[in-house]
Chain A
Amino acid sequence: MFETRSRASRIVLQVLVTLMVLPFLFPLIVMVQGSLAGQGWENYRTVLSQPELPLFFRNSVIIALITIALVLAATMLAAFAFSKLWLRGREVFFWLLLAALTLPEVILLTPMFSISLQLGLYDTYLSVILPLAALQIPFTVLLARTFMNGIPDGLFEAARIDGATTWQSFLHVILPLTRPIAAAIVVLTLITTWNDYLLPLVFLQSPETQTITMLPQFFVGQFSNDQTKVLAAAVITALPEIIAYLCLQKLFERGLAAGALK
Chain B
Amino acid sequence: MILSVGLVYICIGYTGYIATLDWDGSAPDPESVGLANFTRLFADPIFWRAMAHTVLFFVVTFTVQTVLGIVFAVILHSRIRLGVLYKIIIFVPVVLAPAVMAPVFRQIFAADGQFNELLRALGMGSLAHPWLADSATALPVIMGITIWQWTGLTFILYYAAMSQIDPEVIEAARIDGAGNIRVLTSIILPGVKGTTLAILMLSVIGALKTFDVPYLVTGGGPNYATEFLGTYIYRQSIPLADVGYGAALSIMLLILAVFFSLLVGSRQRKDA
Residues on A facing B (Cβ under 8 Å): 1-4, 10, 13-14, 16-18, 20-21, 23-28, 30-31, 34, 73-74, 77-78, 80-82, 85, 87, 93, 96-97, 99-115, 130, 134, 137-138, 166-167, 191, 194-195, 197-198, 202, 212-217, 220, 227, 230-231, 234, 237-238, 241-242, 244-246, 249, 252-253, 256-257, 260-262
A238-B96 contact given A107-B250, A220-B103, CB 8 Å threshold: yes
User: What 8 A-B pairs come out closest when comparing CB atoms?
Assistant: A77-B4, A111-B21, A195-B97, A213-B99, A2-B78, A104-B209, A107-B250, A197-B99
A17 to B77, alpha carbons, bound, how many Å? 12
Residue-wise, chain B 157-192 has the 8 Å CB interface mask toward A (1 for contact) of: 100111000000010001000001001100010000
Measured in the bound complex, the distance between the Cα atoms of B258 and A61 in whole Å is: 33
Inter-chain contact B250/A110, CB cutoff 8 Å: yes
**Contact pattern, B 94-134, Cβ under 8 Å of A = 1, otherwise 0:** 11111111111101100000100000000000000000000
Asked if residues A231 and B107 are in contact (CB atoms below 8 Å), the reply is: yes
**Residue of A with least CB distance to B97:** A195
Q: Would you give the shortest CB distance from B229 to chain A, in whole angstroms?
A: 8
CB < 8 Å: which of B100, B156, B215, B234 contacts A257? B156
Give 10 CB contacts A-B under 8 Å: A2-B75, A16-B75, A20-B68, A24-B151, A106-B209, A110-B26, A197-B99, A227-B107, A257-B160, A260-B198
Name the CB-closest residue of A to B118: A26
Q: Which of B198-254 contact A (CB under 8 A)?
A: 198-199, 202, 205, 208-209, 211-212, 215-216, 229-230, 233-234, 237-238, 243, 246-247, 250-251, 253-254
Closest beta carbon of chain A to B272's beta carbon, Å: 11
Task: Name the CB-closest residue of B to A138.
Answer: B11
Q: Is the CB of A77 within 8 A of B234?
A: no
Query: What CA separation (Å) do A28 and B183 show in the bound complex?
Result: 35
Contact residues in B for A105 (Cβ distance below 8 Å) = 209
Residues of B whose CB lies within 8 Å of any CB of A are: 1, 3-5, 7-8, 11-12, 14-15, 17-18, 21-22, 25-26, 28, 68, 71-72, 74-81, 86, 88-105, 107-108, 114, 148, 151-153, 156-157, 160-162, 170, 174, 180, 183-184, 188, 194-195, 198-199, 202, 205, 208-209, 211-212, 215-216, 229-230, 233-234, 237-238, 243, 246-247, 250-251, 253-254, 257-258, 261
Main secondary structure of the interface of B (DSSP, over half): helix
B14 close to A103 (CB less than 8 A): no
Given known A-B contacts A23-B148, A30-B114, A253-B156, A109 and B250 have beta carbons under 8 A apart: yes
Query: Which of A81, A102, A134, A215 gathers the greatest number of chain B CB atoms within 10 Å?
Result: A102
